[in-house]
Copies of this chain bind each other. A is one copy, B any other.
Protein backbone atom coordinates (compact mmCIF):
# COMPACT_ATOMS: atom_id res chain seq x y z
CA UNK A 1 0.00 0.00 0.00
CA UNK A 2 1.53 3.30 -1.04
CA UNK A 3 1.43 6.41 1.07
CA UNK A 4 -1.68 8.36 0.27
CA UNK A 5 -0.40 11.69 1.51
CA UNK A 6 -3.64 12.74 3.14
CA UNK A 7 -3.78 16.44 3.95
CA UNK A 8 -5.38 16.96 7.36
CA UNK A 9 -7.09 20.20 8.33
CA UNK A 10 -8.51 20.05 11.82
CA UNK A 11 -11.72 21.72 12.86
CA UNK A 12 -11.21 24.82 14.99
CA UNK A 13 -14.29 24.23 17.02
CA UNK A 14 -15.47 20.82 18.15
CA UNK A 15 -19.17 20.11 18.13
CA UNK A 16 -20.99 19.08 21.30
CA UNK A 17 -21.73 15.37 21.55
CA UNK A 18 -25.21 14.06 22.33
CA UNK A 19 -25.73 11.34 24.93
CA UNK A 20 -25.97 8.05 23.02
CA UNK A 21 -29.59 7.50 24.02
CA UNK A 22 -30.52 10.72 22.20
CA UNK A 23 -28.85 9.81 18.90
CA UNK A 24 -31.17 9.48 15.92
CA UNK A 25 -29.71 7.29 13.17
CA UNK A 26 -27.87 9.30 10.53
CA UNK A 27 -28.54 12.80 11.82
CA UNK A 28 -25.46 13.67 13.91
CA UNK A 29 -22.09 13.78 12.19
CA UNK A 30 -18.54 13.86 13.50
CA UNK A 31 -16.23 16.88 13.31
CA UNK A 32 -14.46 15.83 10.12
CA UNK A 33 -14.94 14.18 6.77
CA UNK A 34 -12.69 12.72 4.10
CA UNK A 35 -12.74 13.98 0.51
CA UNK A 36 -10.88 13.05 -2.67
CA UNK A 37 -11.44 14.37 -6.18
CA UNK A 38 -11.31 12.60 -9.51
CA UNK A 39 -10.90 14.06 -12.95
CA UNK A 40 -10.76 11.95 -16.09
CA UNK A 41 -7.14 11.67 -17.23
CA UNK A 42 -5.77 12.75 -13.87
CA UNK A 43 -7.35 10.17 -11.58
CA UNK A 44 -7.91 10.52 -7.86
CA UNK A 45 -6.17 13.42 -6.18
CA UNK A 46 -6.33 15.91 -3.34
CA UNK A 47 -7.03 13.36 -0.61
CA UNK A 48 -7.92 15.30 2.50
CA UNK A 49 -9.50 15.19 5.94
CA UNK A 50 -11.32 18.47 6.51
CA UNK A 51 -13.87 19.86 8.98
CA UNK A 52 -17.34 18.46 8.35
CA UNK A 53 -19.11 21.09 6.23
CA UNK A 54 -21.56 21.57 3.39
CA UNK A 55 -20.31 20.90 -0.13
CA UNK A 56 -20.75 23.11 -3.16
CA UNK A 57 -21.69 21.85 -6.62
CA UNK A 58 -22.74 23.33 -9.94
CA UNK A 59 -26.53 23.15 -10.49
CA UNK A 60 -25.78 21.19 -13.67
CA UNK A 61 -23.69 18.55 -11.86
CA UNK A 62 -24.40 15.03 -13.13
CA UNK A 63 -25.49 13.78 -9.70
CA UNK A 64 -28.56 16.05 -9.73
CA UNK A 65 -29.80 15.04 -13.17
CA UNK A 66 -28.46 11.64 -14.14
CA UNK A 67 -27.93 10.12 -10.74
CA UNK A 68 -24.41 8.70 -10.85
CA UNK A 69 -23.83 8.03 -7.18
CA UNK A 70 -22.87 5.00 -5.12
CA UNK A 71 -22.35 4.42 -1.44
CA UNK A 72 -21.44 1.97 1.28
CA UNK A 73 -22.51 1.56 4.88
CA UNK A 74 -20.30 0.15 7.61
CA UNK A 75 -19.64 0.51 11.33
CA UNK A 76 -16.74 1.02 13.72
CA UNK A 77 -17.04 -0.34 17.26
CA UNK A 78 -15.14 0.78 20.33
CA UNK A 79 -14.58 -1.75 23.09
CA UNK A 80 -13.93 -1.24 26.80
CA UNK A 81 -10.19 -1.65 26.27
CA UNK A 82 -10.10 1.21 23.75
CA UNK A 83 -9.69 -0.95 20.64
CA UNK A 84 -11.55 0.24 17.53
CA UNK A 85 -12.90 -2.51 15.33
CA UNK A 86 -14.09 -2.51 11.72
CA UNK A 87 -16.12 -5.40 10.32
CA UNK A 88 -14.93 -6.70 6.93
CA UNK A 89 -14.16 -3.23 5.53
CA UNK A 90 -12.40 -4.83 2.54
CA UNK A 91 -15.79 -6.21 1.47
CA UNK A 92 -17.32 -2.75 1.45
CA UNK A 93 -14.54 -1.34 -0.70
CA UNK A 94 -14.78 -4.29 -3.07
CA UNK A 95 -18.53 -3.82 -3.40
CA UNK A 96 -18.05 -0.10 -3.94
CA UNK A 97 -15.97 -0.94 -7.00
CA UNK A 98 -18.60 -3.37 -8.21
CA UNK A 99 -21.20 -0.61 -7.89
CA UNK A 100 -18.85 1.87 -9.59
CA UNK A 101 -18.53 -0.43 -12.58
CA UNK A 102 -22.30 -0.81 -12.97
CA UNK A 103 -22.80 2.96 -12.76
CA UNK A 104 -19.94 3.76 -15.17
CA UNK A 105 -18.01 5.48 -12.38
CA UNK A 106 -14.26 5.28 -11.73
CA UNK A 107 -12.72 2.54 -9.59
CA UNK A 108 -11.24 3.45 -6.24
CA UNK A 109 -8.01 1.97 -4.89
CA UNK A 110 -9.43 -0.31 -2.18
CA UNK A 111 -6.32 -0.08 -0.03
CA UNK A 112 -6.23 3.69 -0.29
CA UNK A 113 -9.91 3.86 0.60
CA UNK A 114 -9.25 1.82 3.72
CA UNK A 115 -6.22 3.95 4.58
CA UNK A 116 -8.34 7.09 4.25
CA UNK A 117 -11.03 5.60 6.43
CA UNK A 118 -8.57 4.66 9.16
CA UNK A 119 -7.08 8.16 9.06
CA UNK A 120 -10.51 9.75 9.42
CA UNK A 121 -11.44 7.44 12.29
CA UNK A 122 -8.18 8.34 14.06
CA UNK A 123 -9.00 12.04 13.81
CA UNK A 124 -12.56 11.56 15.09
CA UNK A 125 -11.95 8.62 17.40
CA UNK A 126 -13.58 10.32 20.37
CA UNK A 127 -16.87 10.24 18.43
CA UNK A 128 -17.19 6.46 18.60
CA UNK A 129 -19.74 5.68 21.30
CA UNK A 130 -18.94 2.92 23.75
CA UNK A 131 -22.32 1.97 25.23
CA UNK A 132 -23.76 -1.47 24.46
CA UNK A 133 -25.29 -1.63 21.00
CA UNK A 134 -23.81 1.68 19.89
CA UNK A 135 -21.31 2.25 17.10
CA UNK A 136 -19.98 4.77 14.61
CA UNK A 137 -21.84 4.46 11.33
CA UNK A 138 -19.57 5.13 8.36
CA UNK A 139 -20.83 6.29 4.98
CA UNK A 140 -18.35 6.30 2.10
CA UNK A 141 -19.95 7.65 -1.08
CA UNK A 142 -19.06 8.87 -4.54
CA UNK A 143 -20.95 11.46 -6.58
CA UNK A 144 -20.62 12.66 -10.18
CA UNK A 145 -19.82 16.35 -10.38
CA UNK A 146 -19.32 17.32 -14.03
CA UNK A 147 -21.31 20.47 -14.85
CA UNK A 148 -22.90 19.11 -18.01
CA UNK A 149 -26.50 18.28 -18.93
CA UNK A 150 -25.88 15.27 -21.12
CA UNK A 151 -26.72 11.61 -20.66
CA UNK A 152 -23.15 10.36 -20.49
CA UNK A 153 -20.79 9.37 -17.70
CA UNK A 154 -19.42 12.33 -15.78
CA UNK A 155 -15.77 13.22 -16.27
CA UNK A 156 -15.32 14.29 -12.64
CA UNK A 157 -16.26 12.77 -9.28
CA UNK A 158 -15.94 13.36 -5.57
CA UNK A 159 -15.42 10.53 -3.09
CA UNK A 160 -16.29 11.28 0.51
CA UNK A 161 -16.55 9.57 3.87
CA UNK A 162 -18.84 10.94 6.55
CA UNK A 163 -19.43 9.34 9.94
CA UNK A 164 -22.33 9.37 12.36
CA UNK A 165 -22.42 8.04 15.94
CA UNK A 166 -25.46 5.80 16.33
CA UNK A 167 -27.32 4.59 19.37
CA UNK A 168 -28.54 1.07 19.91
CA UNK A 169 -30.84 -0.21 17.17
CA UNK A 170 -32.64 -2.31 19.76
CA UNK A 171 -32.91 0.02 22.73
CA UNK A 172 -35.79 -1.92 24.22
CA UNK A 173 -34.42 -5.31 23.25
CA UNK A 174 -34.55 -7.05 19.90
CA UNK A 175 -38.14 -7.41 18.72
CA UNK A 176 -39.67 -8.77 15.52
CA UNK A 177 -41.09 -6.51 12.82
CA UNK A 178 -44.18 -6.76 10.63
CA UNK A 179 -43.55 -6.97 6.90
CA UNK A 180 -45.87 -6.12 4.01
CA UNK A 181 -45.29 -8.20 0.86
CA UNK A 182 -45.26 -5.73 -2.02
CA UNK A 183 -47.38 -6.63 -5.03
CA UNK A 184 -47.45 -3.40 -7.05
CA UNK A 185 -44.01 -1.81 -6.99
CA UNK A 186 -40.79 -3.45 -8.10
CA UNK A 187 -37.36 -2.77 -6.63
CA UNK A 188 -35.16 -4.11 -9.43
CA UNK A 189 -34.76 -6.78 -12.10
CA UNK A 190 -31.71 -8.58 -13.42
CA UNK A 191 -30.00 -6.32 -15.96
CA UNK A 192 -30.86 -3.28 -13.83
CA UNK A 193 -28.98 -1.82 -10.87
CA UNK A 194 -30.44 -3.95 -8.05
CA UNK A 195 -27.08 -5.47 -7.11
CA UNK A 196 -25.31 -2.10 -7.03
CA UNK A 197 -25.49 0.15 -3.99
CA UNK A 198 -26.79 3.20 -5.82
CA UNK A 199 -29.26 5.90 -4.91
CA UNK A 200 -31.84 5.09 -7.58
CA UNK A 201 -32.67 1.73 -5.94
CA UNK A 202 -33.58 3.51 -2.73
CA UNK A 203 -35.47 6.36 -4.40
CA UNK A 204 -37.67 3.88 -6.22
CA UNK A 205 -38.41 2.00 -2.99
CA UNK A 206 -39.88 4.94 -1.07
CA UNK A 207 -43.36 4.78 -2.58
CA UNK A 208 -43.91 1.20 -1.43
CA UNK A 209 -42.49 2.04 1.99
CA UNK A 210 -45.04 4.88 2.27
CA UNK A 211 -47.85 2.37 1.77
CA UNK A 212 -46.32 0.00 4.33
CA UNK A 213 -46.02 2.86 6.85
CA UNK A 214 -49.67 3.78 6.36
CA UNK A 215 -50.77 0.21 6.94
CA UNK A 216 -48.68 -0.22 10.07
CA UNK A 217 -45.89 -2.35 8.59
CA UNK A 218 -42.27 -1.48 9.16
CA UNK A 219 -40.82 -2.69 5.86
CA UNK A 220 -41.83 -4.21 2.54
CA UNK A 221 -40.81 -7.58 1.18
CA UNK A 222 -39.85 -7.19 -2.47
CA UNK A 223 -40.86 -9.81 -4.99
CA UNK A 224 -39.08 -10.26 -8.32
CA UNK A 225 -40.18 -7.90 -11.10
CA UNK A 226 -40.73 -10.60 -13.65
CA UNK A 227 -42.96 -13.32 -12.21
CA UNK A 228 -43.82 -11.31 -9.08
CA UNK A 229 -43.47 -14.36 -6.92
CA UNK A 230 -39.82 -14.93 -6.01
CA UNK A 231 -38.54 -13.20 -2.89
CA UNK A 232 -35.77 -10.64 -3.31
CA UNK A 233 -35.11 -8.43 -0.27
CA UNK A 234 -36.88 -6.98 2.72
CA UNK A 235 -36.78 -3.17 2.73
CA UNK A 236 -33.09 -2.45 2.33
CA UNK A 237 -32.00 -5.74 3.93
CA UNK A 238 -31.39 -9.25 2.67
CA UNK A 239 -33.82 -11.85 3.98
CA UNK A 240 -33.50 -15.34 5.46
CA UNK A 241 -36.07 -18.01 6.34
CA UNK A 242 -35.71 -21.05 8.52
CA UNK A 243 -38.03 -23.64 7.04
CA UNK A 244 -38.30 -27.06 8.59
CA UNK A 245 -34.87 -26.77 10.15
CA UNK A 246 -33.08 -25.51 7.03
CA UNK A 247 -32.05 -21.89 6.50
CA UNK A 248 -32.89 -20.52 3.06
CA UNK A 249 -32.02 -17.17 1.50
CA UNK A 250 -32.64 -15.91 -2.04
CA UNK A 251 -29.64 -16.62 -4.28
CA UNK A 252 -27.75 -13.68 -5.77
CA UNK A 253 -29.54 -13.33 -9.07
CA UNK A 254 -28.36 -9.96 -10.35
CA UNK A 255 -31.17 -7.95 -8.81
CA UNK A 256 -30.49 -8.27 -5.07
CA UNK A 257 -27.67 -6.77 -3.08
CA UNK A 258 -24.70 -8.96 -2.17
CA UNK A 259 -24.98 -8.08 1.51
CA UNK A 260 -21.93 -8.33 3.74
CA UNK A 261 -24.06 -9.26 6.75
CA UNK A 262 -25.80 -11.79 4.47
CA UNK A 263 -22.58 -13.53 3.48
CA UNK A 264 -21.34 -13.45 7.07
CA UNK A 265 -24.54 -15.11 8.28
CA UNK A 266 -24.13 -17.84 5.68
CA UNK A 267 -20.54 -18.42 6.78
CA UNK A 268 -21.53 -18.49 10.44
CA UNK A 269 -24.28 -21.02 9.79
CA UNK A 270 -21.91 -23.25 7.83
CA UNK A 271 -19.37 -22.92 10.64
CA UNK A 272 -22.07 -24.13 13.04
CA UNK A 273 -23.11 -26.91 10.65
CA UNK A 274 -26.60 -25.49 10.37
CA UNK A 275 -27.97 -26.37 6.91
CA UNK A 276 -28.15 -23.22 4.76
CA UNK A 277 -28.93 -22.84 1.06
CA UNK A 278 -29.01 -19.97 -1.40
CA UNK A 279 -31.71 -20.54 -3.99
CA UNK A 280 -34.93 -19.12 -5.39
CA UNK A 281 -37.63 -18.84 -2.73
CA UNK A 282 -41.19 -18.07 -3.77
CA UNK A 283 -43.79 -16.36 -1.64
CA UNK A 284 -45.99 -19.40 -2.26
CA UNK A 285 -43.36 -21.56 -0.58
CA UNK A 286 -43.46 -19.26 2.44
CA UNK A 287 -47.25 -19.41 2.51
CA UNK A 288 -47.12 -23.19 2.32
CA UNK A 289 -44.44 -23.44 5.03
CA UNK A 290 -46.61 -21.25 7.21
CA UNK A 291 -49.70 -23.34 6.53
CA UNK A 292 -47.93 -26.57 7.41
CA UNK A 293 -46.28 -25.11 10.49
CA UNK A 294 -42.78 -25.36 9.03
CA UNK A 295 -41.95 -21.63 8.90
CA UNK A 296 -39.71 -21.66 11.97
CA UNK A 297 -38.09 -18.23 11.67
CA UNK A 298 -37.55 -15.29 9.33
CA UNK A 299 -35.19 -12.33 9.58
CA UNK A 300 -33.66 -9.48 7.63
CA UNK A 301 -29.92 -8.82 7.64
CA UNK A 302 -28.05 -5.56 7.12
CA UNK A 303 -25.42 -3.28 8.57
CA UNK A 304 -27.81 -1.07 10.54
CA UNK A 305 -29.82 -3.73 12.39
CA UNK A 306 -27.45 -6.68 11.85
CA UNK A 307 -30.39 -9.09 12.37
CA UNK A 308 -34.00 -7.94 12.24
CA UNK A 309 -36.38 -10.78 13.19
CA UNK A 310 -39.67 -10.89 11.32
CA UNK A 311 -42.82 -11.75 13.26
CA UNK A 312 -45.46 -11.33 10.55
CA UNK A 313 -45.91 -11.12 6.80
CA UNK A 314 -48.98 -9.79 5.04
CA UNK A 315 -49.41 -10.95 1.45
CA UNK A 316 -52.50 -9.98 -0.52
CA UNK A 317 -54.57 -9.76 2.62
CA UNK A 318 -53.32 -13.03 4.13
CA UNK A 319 -51.30 -12.98 7.35
CA UNK A 320 -48.41 -15.35 7.99
CA UNK A 321 -47.21 -15.25 11.59
CA UNK A 322 -43.71 -16.47 12.28
CA UNK A 323 -42.77 -18.11 15.57
CA UNK A 324 -45.85 -16.59 17.26
CA UNK A 325 -44.49 -13.14 16.49
CA UNK A 326 -41.46 -13.71 18.72
CA UNK A 327 -37.75 -13.64 18.04
CA UNK A 328 -36.57 -17.10 17.02
CA UNK A 329 -33.81 -18.96 18.76
CA UNK A 330 -31.51 -19.03 15.74
CA UNK A 331 -32.14 -15.33 14.97
CA UNK A 332 -31.12 -14.41 18.51
CA UNK A 333 -28.09 -16.68 18.41
CA UNK A 334 -26.93 -15.19 15.10
CA UNK A 335 -27.43 -11.67 16.42
CA UNK A 336 -25.39 -12.37 19.54
CA UNK A 337 -22.63 -14.13 17.65
CA UNK A 338 -22.25 -11.52 14.92
CA UNK A 339 -22.44 -8.48 17.19
CA UNK A 340 -20.09 -10.25 19.58
CA UNK A 341 -17.51 -10.71 16.83
CA UNK A 342 -18.01 -7.12 15.67
CA UNK A 343 -17.43 -5.74 19.16
CA UNK A 344 -14.62 -8.10 20.02
CA UNK A 345 -16.42 -9.79 22.92
CA UNK A 346 -16.48 -13.07 21.02
CA UNK A 347 -13.79 -14.92 19.13
CA UNK A 348 -13.54 -14.16 15.40
CA UNK A 349 -12.68 -17.49 13.73
CA UNK A 350 -12.99 -15.95 10.26
CA UNK A 351 -10.53 -13.05 10.44
CA UNK A 352 -13.36 -10.63 9.69
CA UNK A 353 -12.48 -7.96 12.20
CA UNK A 354 -9.83 -5.31 11.60
CA UNK A 355 -8.51 -3.92 14.88
CA UNK A 356 -7.16 -0.43 14.45
CA UNK A 357 -5.18 0.35 17.57
CA UNK A 358 -4.58 -2.89 19.41
CA UNK A 359 -1.75 -2.54 21.91
Q: Which residues of A contact B (CB under 8 A)?
A: 25-27, 29, 33, 52, 54-60, 63-69, 71, 101-104, 137, 139, 141, 143, 147-153, 160, 162, 164, 184-193, 198-207, 209-210, 225-226, 235-236
Contact = CB atoms under 8 A, between A and B. Distances in A.
Contacts of A148: 26-27
Contacts of A57: 54-55, 57
A217 to B, nearest CB: 14
A186 B190 CA distance: 7
A54 B54 CA distance: 12
A209 B164 contact: no
Max count, chain B CB within 10 A of own CB: residue among A65, A148, A189 = A65
B60 A69 contact: no
A202 B149 contact: no
A56 B59 contact: no
B69 A225 contact: no
Contacts of A187: 192
A104 to B, nearest CB: 4
Contact of A25 (B104, B150, B188, B206): B150
Nearest to A52: B59
Which 8 residue pairs spanning A and B have beta carbons closest together?
A200-B200, A67-B199, A26-B149, A186-B191, A67-B203, A104-B206, A66-B202, A189-B225
Nearest to A228: B191
B198 A203 contact: yes
Contact of A60 (B26, B63, B193): B26
